[in-house]
Amino acid sequence: MAVFARNVTIDPTAPASAVSQPEIDEVIDLVRGDILESAALITSHRYDALIEKRVAIGEAVKGDQPLFACALCGTPVYIASSPEKRFFFRHKVENGSCPAQTRGLLGEAEIRARKYHGLRESEAHKRIKGLIERSLAADPLFKAESIHQERRWRSEHDPAQWRQPDVQAICDGQWIAFEAQLSTTFLDVVVERRMFYRKEGALLIWIVGHFDPEYRRLTMDDLLFSNNSNIMVVDDETTRISEERGAFHLRCHYRQVSRDGPGIYERWDQRTISFHELTWDIQRQQAYLIDCKSTKERLADEVDQELRAAFFDVWKSVQFPYDTRPDILERWRETRAKLAARGIAIPEAPHADSSFRAMMHGLLSVQAGTPVGWEFTSLIQVAHHLAEDYPQHLLAFGYGLDLYGRKALLETQDTSGKWKIKCSKFRPKIKARDPAYRPDEESLASLTFLFPEIGRRVSAHFEKI
């Protein structure tokens, strides 16, 4: 973390920080219906992920489809920040009726910036607009007659709605609005403009005159992390290149993601590129060179697949019910440590937790179509054992029957009809989300990691509506 001239710059990979005593202690997740501790929700995110989420929450509030509300009064809330980039939830509207008062949390810097919010037309702002216009004019792929500074853009859907972008132009039939970022560009402005241009089927691109990854204000981070961790610079050098090469060029700063063994690493990088190298996403209002988010997800998935394979390799090597071989126990400890680093908890030893064993044996049995880990002779015996002794794993077993195509096999083996009778008794309870049929959070986490599709379906079933 770097500090310059009262600005706090946070490493994108660092955990987000919450204010120490938030006025709004709890918020309602309006999608899931859960009541969440606001500070815990904030700190569960990386800094860059929280900034991206803050923009999405802001858009949802502006669109009258809020994602979170104050647990005390039900008013929609969004994520705000102190000058030190410690975050908290703030009411969309505050009239004094709620005990939680969030409007007094404005810092001196933010008050000063808002006071001079209307002073946009600085010489620096005029200059960057001119550089953008010159760069566009040098590129024949941008229609010359479509390039304008400060021209009003009226909505095709509602003529009463309009914006006035710094520069606008058409490229390959696509309307594009360019805005020069200023230190006074606040989240509500960013959100409103993103929503306006998305509705118009146009693309909004924020341009800055300079970017230093070690000195970033929150207003810069709002633009950067909502744009797939890419930010665009236009300056004298890029304008000269644009005019020399006859194509709009800019400097793109981005997060480069790479992998070294089980570790995923990120670093800042930059390239001077042609505008036409960018990927456009109108729905997300993004224009980026490097797909940072997808790269992180792909590399994380590779690591997870390898770790998952390592777990199953050692699990299938264990001799149940009790295995004391030193090499097996050492492999288990190594795998357990790697899973713990990933946030997944498994027992201290393969035989240490009967519930975990039942979950594993049950799902591996349904996967194989024959008992695994138990001295049973048929899958129907596995089903009865889970129903009688481990009801918390019945739903996962049921989803496994569906996923692996074993429903017909189980019905064939139910010659006595006892399984059908049991199902008629426990299915209504599972449907009603009876806690006896819900795995604990630790088991659910390991289930979702080891059997992702089944785990996601179990989680979705038990989410509050």
From 290, 324, 347, give the residue that closes a domain. Answer: 290
Residue 19 in any domain: the answer is yes
Asked if residue 269 and residue 130 are part of one domain, the reply reads yes
Residue 296 in any domain: the answer is no
Residue 418 in any domain: the answer is yes
Residue 138 belongs to what domain range? 123-290
Percent composition of the chain: helix, strand, coil (DSSP 3-state, to 5)? 45, 20, 35
Asked if residue 275 and residue 361 are part of one domain, the reply reads no
Average pLDDT of the residues of the chain: 91
Taking the alpha carbons at both ends of the chain, their separation in whole angstroms is: 40
Report the CATH number at residue 247: 3.40.1350
Asked if residue 219 and residue 346 are part of one domain, the reply reads no
DSSP 464: -
Asked if residue 160 and residue 274 are part of one domain, the reply reads yes
**Distance (Å, whole) CA 293 – CA 143:** 32
Asked if residue 110 and residue 218 are part of one domain, the reply reads no
433 CB burial (10 A radius; 0-12, 13-18, 19+): middle
Q: Which amino acid is at 330?
A: E
From 267, 290, 313, give the residue that closes a domain. Answer: 290
Asked if residue 101 and residue 49 are part of one domain, the reply reads yes
Which pLDDT tens digit goes with each residue over 150-209?
999 999 888 889 999 999 999 999 999 999 986 656 788 899 999 999 999 999 999 999
| Res 34: pLDDT | 82
What are the tokens at 383? 């089903």
Which pLDDT tens digit goes with each residue over 232-250?
999 999 999 999 999 999 9
Asked if residue 284 and residue 155 are part of one domain, the reply reads yes
Asked if residue 446 and residue 308 are part of one domain, the reply reads yes
74: left (phi over 0), alpha (psi -120 to 50) or beta: left
Asked if residue 355 and residue 409 are part of one domain, the reply reads yes
Q: Answer whether 0.85 is exceeded by the pTM.
A: no
From 236, 255, 290, give the residue that closes a domain. Answer: 290
Residue 30 in any domain: the answer is yes
Asked if residue 186 and residue 127 are part of one domain, the reply reads yes
Residue 295 in any domain: the answer is no
Instruction: Report the domain count for the chain.
Output: 3
Residue 97 in any domain: the answer is yes
Asked if residue 229 and residue 171 are part of one domain, the reply reads yes
309 CB burial (10 A radius; 0-12, 13-18, 19+): exposed
Asked if residue 391 and residue 341 are part of one domain, the reply reads yes
Confidence check: pLDDT of 120 > 90: no
**Distance (Å, whole) CA 305 – CA 310:** 9
